Chain A
Amino acid sequence: MTTNRLIVVGGDAAGMSAASQAKRRRPDLEIIVFERGPHVSYSA
């Protein structure tokens, strides 16, 4: 996959799990998470 920029909409369990997992596998991937609330995942 030649993805350079991943955007994640939503920073709770699913969004943050995915972001962390993707970053671990591809440290060069640029990841931006947009979360409309004031908090991100508290358990991922």
Chain B
Amino acid sequence: MIRTPERFREKEGIDVRIRHEVEEIDAAGGRVRVLELQTGNVSWEPYDQLLLATGAKPVCPKVPGSDAVEICGINTLQSGVEMRMLLDSKSARKGVVVGGGYIGLEMAEALVRQGLDVSLVTKSPEVMSTLDSDMGRLVSQALRDLGVTLYLGETLEAFDTKNGKLTGVITDQRTLPADVVVLGLGVRPNAALAEAAGIPLGEKGSIRVNDRMQTGTAGIWAAGDCAESFHLISRRPFYIALGTVANRHGRVAGINLGGGYATFPGVVGTAVTKICEVEIARTGLQEEEIRRLGLEWVSAVIKSRTKAGYYPGAGEITVKVLAEKGSGRLLGGQIVGKAGSAKRIDTLATALHAGFTVEQMINLDLSYAPPFSPVWDPVVIAAREAAKKLG
């Protein structure tokens, strides 16, 4: 941990009160009701401006047995600490991860490293459903190579418990013995406080904000995983819970609250992760999202190397690029590959922000030397292939 409440108080003059829960907003009266969790004291605190940064919570399936303590959602530092204590406190042998997204993958790797026998269940045809399934398949294989047993296309039905203690995970097709379960089923915005105060909500129940991070209620702002964003490629409101976005939301809200002027233009949906040696990255829209918008597209998938082919340590990289039919506008990109792969997504993310066509990407003056890249960067090779298909 880099900063403590004391440090915020002393160095920055910000009064941070941990273990204090805001239970209610009185928007008309300009005050919040605060419960001090250690003492049970309740008080009303007046504000001139209020910022809601209440985050998100892991989706908890309402299935039989879901209240067993050995089932963990990971969304805060504290939940990570609790998970670690659970793993340290007993000799857990079998771990089951439910969900194949970022959290699911990272936790599967962590459990394998802790020496557990790990299975992963997801209802999707491949893990990492924020990638198209042809790219997700590469990630599924990386997990299998790590020793994780995958149960793809299976739905969670219940948790098996004995005397309140977790013993297994029941899917629509089998029962998997389990000592510990990690939930990676995504998150939902913590917007109950806002909703109860009549503050308008938007996508997936997140708090609707304007470009300055103001909610629909005067004097109340929202930022981070509880707040809505705007997708610059679909040009529609969008909900995404990521630390990078939360930091940018917070910065914009803070500038405005400090008397300045700033706006948050939106996101293109860029994210990276890794599972052992395999790096995974995505940006923009994936095929299913493009289909739902009623647009048509071409896609190109290419395999290349992370460095010049003859250079020591060159690894495989697969790049997929999606472009709009007709206009050739870049719509999205996905990358799976060895070390040096993931951050190449930033070229595609920048091209998305700039509104580039794949044709415009071909002549980008990108860096090259054998230790870093083939002569043609893999993302440019993919853009060139997509441009060819556009005709």
A and B together in one complex: yes
**How many whole Å from A42's CB to the nearest CB in chain B?**
5
CB distance from A18 to the nearest CB of B (A): 4
| Interchain CB contact under 8 A, B53 and A10 | yes
Q: Which residues from chain A contact B54 at a C-beta distance below 8 Å?
A: 9-10
Contact B254 A22, beta carbon cutoff 8 Å: yes
**A14, B258: Cβ atoms under 8 Å?**
no
Q: Is the CB of B17 within 8 A of A35?
A: yes
Q: A6, B226: Cβ atoms under 8 Å?
A: no
Smallest beta-carbon distance B47→chain A, Å: 4
With A9-B54, A32-B45 in contact, do A15 and B223 touch (Cβ < 8 Å)? yes
CB-based nearest A residue for B260: A25
A residues in contact with B45, CB < 8 Å: 7, 32
Number of interface residues of A (CB under 8 A): 43
Interface positions of B from 12 to 33, Cβ below 8 Å from A: 12-22, 32
Q: Is the CB of A18 within 8 A of B251?
A: yes
Cα A37 to Cα B38 in complex, Å, equals 11
Given the contacts A13-B243, A15-B224, A40 and B18 also touching, CB distance less than 8 Å:
yes
Interface string of B252-264 (1 = CB under 8 A from A): 0111011110000
The verdict on A5 contacting B48 (CB below 8 Å), with A12-B55, A15-B223 known, is: yes
* 7 A-B pairs (CB sep. < 8 Å): A6-B48, A7-B32, A10-B52, A11-B53, A14-B250, A16-B3, A29-B257
Q: Residues of B with Cβ closer than 8 Å to A? A: 1-5, 8, 12-22, 32, 34, 37, 45-55, 76-78, 193, 221, 223-227, 243, 246-247, 249-251, 253-255, 257-260
A interface list, Cβ under 8 A from B: 1-27, 29-44
